[in-house]
């Protein structure tokens, strides 16, 4: 039997490689305790109120969810001060990113992003036969002027992650406003602020009001990070109504679960948990930066819930050695940053353990290389 002919545009694509699951590492290495610092999850868990709401919603498991996410939509609309019609919900921000290719990209079209950024932008574009044009990093962050230079008549969309994953860097509100002013109206700008709530710089963009002026911008957010709901898969976007109505045409009818909707709505009403998560992250960031400085290690400035550190050794080796000590991180060779590790900021206690383990790994490797 001959193989079914698939769309050739997916040939360059590779499956997403997620952070290694805790249970796999425990089993493979015979470890009792494993700390996952690989997927930028919330180390404080989930808001107790959100958990309670999700559990209560299991009563309705036999019924399809409300495809309109009405209760969540109304709560979020009130919180953000935008009309409910300007909101779009997705099975995580990932799904919203995947919609962009489906709505805007034809074979031969181009999109633009940074060389080192979130892999799902490329997936969204390549899946539809488009090409991603990459702009080299500037000081480990997005080079917004470099992106403007790459806009051509073929450009359909620009993807910005702010803070960026995996570098953690962020651009300012003034830089964003200047950039948006120069992007042609016919080019979509996706501003992905999945980690925005963690940003601690004074001039971090206030993107929501900018959407009033720039009707070609879609602002992408998630409940996976600071709200601690990664497993329930709820993301959302805000944009001008005509843009949102295009996305609604291709959105699967029941793409956000009953449990996800209930938990996200309750999580919105627990800003105490968000505040606690922010403070915990800030303390862990300060701790790591000080510890890395004492170890003589370079790190990238981060506004997110992870930090990227230059360990100066093969990251395959560092990754494996840290895993043996019970810490799962993201090795840079898989992210286009050889020599660097991306480490989720866990609790202070977790980071103390991680820093100790990293120190041991670097010492063991220094001794090993002296003995060669
Ligand atoms: C920059 C960025 N955007 C979007 C996402 C996807 O988030 P979600 O869990 O909502 O799909 C991630 C996940 O790590 C991310 O790093």
Site to probe by mutation for ligand 1, drawn from 36, 37, 89, 92 as the one with most ligand atoms within 8 Å of Cβ, is 92
CA angle 280, 286, 290 (to 5 degrees): 145
Average pLDDT on 336-362 reads 97
Domains assigned to the chain = 18-45+272-370 (3.90.1150.10), 48-269 (3.40.640.10)
Task: Give the pLDDT confidence of 17-48 residue by residue, as tens digits.
Answer: 877 789 998 999 999 999 999 999 999 999 99
Task: Quote the ligand 1 centre to 225 CA distance (angstroms).
Answer: 8
Task: Quote the ligand 1 centre to 68 CA distance (angstroms).
Answer: 22
Residue 372 has pLDDT above 80, yes or no: no
Non-local (6+) Cβ contacts of 344 within 8 A are: 36, 37, 38, 39, 40, 41, 43, 305, 306, 329
CB 243 within 8 A of CB 291: no
CB 312 within 8 A of CB 22: no
Q: How far is CA 307 from CA 14, 38, 169, 198, in A?
A: 26, 11, 9, 12
pTM of the model: 0.96
Site to probe by mutation for ligand 1, drawn from 46, 100, 118 as the one with most ligand atoms within 8 Å of Cβ, is 118
Pairing of strands 235-238, 87-90: antiparallel
Neighbours of 48 (CB within 10 A): 12
Q: Rounded to whole angstroms, how far apart are CA atoms 355 and 144?
A: 34
Task: Give the pLDDT confidence of 269-317 residue by residue, as tens digits.
Answer: 999 999 999 999 999 999 999 999 999 999 999 999 999 999 999 999 9
Q: Which atom of ligand 1 is nearest to the CA of 223?
A: 10
Give the DSSP H or E segment for 238.
strand 235-238
Residues lining ligand 1, Cβ inside 6 A = 40, 92-94, 118, 161, 165, 192, 194, 222, 224, 230, 235
């Amino acid at each position: 039997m001959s193989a079914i002919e698939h769309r050739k545009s997916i040939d360059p694509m590779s499956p997403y490689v997620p952070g290694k699951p805790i249970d796999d590492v425990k089993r493979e290495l015979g470890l009792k305790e494993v700390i996952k610092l690989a997927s930028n999850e919330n180390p404080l868990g989930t808001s107790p109120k959100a958990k309670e709401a999700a559990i209560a919603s299991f009563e309705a498991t036999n019924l399809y969810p409300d495809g309109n996410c009405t209760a969540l939509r109304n709560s979020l609309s009130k919180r953000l001060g935008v009309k409910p019609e300007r909101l779009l919900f997705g099975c995580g921000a990932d799904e919203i990113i995947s919609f962009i290719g489906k709505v805007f990209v034809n074979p031969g079209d181009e999109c633009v992003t940074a060389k080192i950024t979130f892999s799902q932008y490329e997936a969204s574009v390549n899946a539809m036969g488009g090409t991603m044009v990459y702009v080299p990093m500037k000081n480990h962050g997005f080079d917004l002027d470099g992106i403007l230079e790459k806009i051509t008549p073929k450009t359909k969309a620009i993807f910005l992650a702010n803070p960026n994953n995996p570098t953690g860097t962020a651009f300012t509100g003034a830089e964003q406003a200047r950039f948006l002013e120069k992007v042609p109206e016919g080019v979509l700008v996706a501003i992905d602020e999945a980690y925005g709530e963690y940003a601690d710089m004074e001039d971090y963009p206030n993107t929501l009001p900018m959407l009033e002026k720039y009707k070609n911008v879609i602002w992408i957010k998630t409940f996976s990070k600071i709200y601690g709901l990664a497993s329930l898969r709820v993301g959302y976007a805000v944009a001008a109504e005509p843009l949102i109505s295009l996305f609604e045409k291709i959105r699967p009818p029941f793409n956000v679960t009953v449990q996800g909707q209930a938990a996200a709505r309750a999580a919105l009403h627990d800003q105490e948990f968000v505040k606690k998560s922010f403070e915990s992250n800030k303390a862990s960031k300060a701790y790591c930066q000080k510890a890395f400085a004492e170890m003589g290690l370079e790190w990238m400035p981060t506004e997110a819930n992870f930090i990227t550190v230059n360990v100066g050794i093969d990251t395959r080796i560092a990754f494996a050695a840290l895993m043996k000590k019970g810490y799962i991180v993201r090795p840079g060779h898989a992210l286009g940053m050889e020599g660097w590790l991306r480490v989720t900021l866990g609790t202070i206690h977790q980071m103390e353990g991680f820093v100790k383990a990293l120190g041991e790994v670097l010492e063991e490797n220094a001794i090993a290389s002296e003995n060669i």
